[in-house]
Amino acid sequence: MIQDYPLKNLTPDLADLSPENIKNYIRTESMGRKLICLETVDSTNNEGKRRSCAEREGTVIVSNRQTAGRGRLGREWTSPGGKGIWMSILLKPDLPTAKIPRLTMVAAAAICLALESVNSSLWGKVQIKWPNDILLRGKKAGGILTEMQVSGDRLQSVVLGIGLNVNLGEGDFPEELRTKATSLFLETGVPFNREVLIAEILNCFEPLYQDYLREGNLGESLEICRRQSAVIGKKVLLLEKGAGQEAEVLDLGPQGELLVKLANGHTASILSGEISLRL
Ligand code: BT5
């Protein structure tokens, strides 16, 4: 565990990201060994896709700002300059396409471990809202967007996008997000060194990813997602096409699926989708 990092960038909005600085903190075999740091890009996931043929597994694209950051289903992702981590990891796993969406949970587990490792005041406080949200005190501090490129039924590559609100202040969020979004800075009162955090996410991601490839199951990632779950034991709304169905979350299943009890008493297993905790 690395602690007490020098806070090089005490003026977060003037911060730059340098591959050399990030590499100083990286302890991986492949993740982030090639780092592409950009000042501005439409979306690091788009850039990952554009480079997916030419670049190798583990290549990481980081941008200081995104002009068209995306969430799931084409939703917008607010990505102002100099204050967040907007990055994508290019992966070329030998996995069936059905197993790719669960990489989101591997990344969520890695983000939890990394945040706890860089700041002990975050121990036990980072929560994962199935399947792709990172929460602090019930507000969204980060999100994950896993996209795959397929040719026929063959997987070509995966771009795993991570957005983390690091040093954003309240004014950096659009009005409509201010009640539901937060940042590490807003929750802890201290600015974080983004370069250290990027490296630590990669350090934590690599072994969990290698386990997933080797074992074919979520293993430790699943344990972390369970332990840090914002939804297990909660009443939620299962959202589908604008409609919501009440359910109680019982657990996460072995494949990372959501096990729920519906209002009619039946249990169901939800493979993908979206839930709301605002009942
Ligand atoms: C996500 O989507 O949470 C996935 C976000 C992934 C962003 C990363 S950044 C690097 C890479 N490049 C990209 O272009 N994307 C990835 P979803 O679950 O669909 O949530 C989207 C919703 O979150 C929006 O509709 C807003 O309500 C909210 N939102 C937007 N920006 C936010 C922010 N910065 N912080 C918290 N919430 C935000």
Atom 9 of ligand 1, nearest CA residue = 163
pLDDT of amino acid 243: 81
Indicate whether residue 132 lines ligand 1 (CB < 6 A). Answer: yes
Mutate to test the pocket of ligand 1, among 72, 73, 77, 179 (most ligand atoms within 8 A of CB): 77
Atom 38 of ligand 1, nearest CA residue = 77
Indicate whether residue 161 lines ligand 1 (CB < 6 A). Answer: yes
Which residues are CB-contacts of 270 (< 8 A; sequence separation ≥ 6)?
Answer: 238, 257, 258, 259, 260
Indicate whether residue 167 lines ligand 1 (CB < 6 A). Answer: no
Q: At what angle do helices 219-227 and 103-118 cross, to 10 degrees?
A: 60
Q: At what angle do helices 194-215 and 219-227 cross, to 10 degrees?
A: 130
Atom 35 of ligand 1, nearest CA residue = 181
Residue with tokens 């990027």: 198
Residue with tokens 């080797």: 214
The pLDDT tens digits for 28-42 are 999 999 999 999 999
Read off the pTM. 0.94
Indicate whether residue 163 lines ligand 1 (CB < 6 A). Answer: yes
Averaged pLDDT score across all residues of the chain: 93
The pLDDT tens digits for 102-147 are 999 999 999 999 999 999 999 999 999 999 999 999 999 999 999 9
> What's the 3-state SS for 143-203?
EEEEEEEEECCEEEEEEEEEEEECCCCHHHCCHHHCCCECCHHHHHCCCCCHHHHHHHHHH
The pLDDT tens digits for 5-26 are 444 444 444 457 999 999 999 9
Amino acid at 233: G
Alpha-carbon distance values, 61 to 41, 159, 180, 219 (Å): 10, 10, 27, 27
